[in-house]
Amino acid sequence: MTSVKELCVASNSANNAPQPPEIIEVEELVVACDGGGGALGHPRVFLTLDNGRAECGYCDRLFILKAGVKVARSH
């Protein structure tokens, strides 16, 4: 007889929970993302960081400007 307790342990949340978006630190305001290839791959797109961050619309990766990086602002 299988107890309810054992069933709860077996259904580990790691299998069901959506993966948190990957956070990538970059040193430039424009980054290219192609999803890293494989199952998550997508056509390469260029993202421009806004306020030090940009999110890829394809794979939900979050790009953030690495702390301490100075970016030349265009006039």
How far apart, in whole angstroms, are the C-alpha atoms of residue 62 and residue 20? Answer: 10
Q: Does 58 bind Zn ion (CB under 5 A)?
A: yes
| DSSP type of residue 51 | T
Q: Is the CB of 49 or the CB of 59 nearer to Zn ion?
A: 59
- Binding flags for Zn ion, 16-35, as an x/- string (CB under 5 A): -----------------x-x
| CA angle in degrees (0–180, nearest 5) for 13-17-22 | 125
Q: Does 56 bind Zn ion (CB under 5 A)?
A: yes
What residue ranges bind Zn ion (CB under 5 A)? 33, 35, 56, 58-59, 61
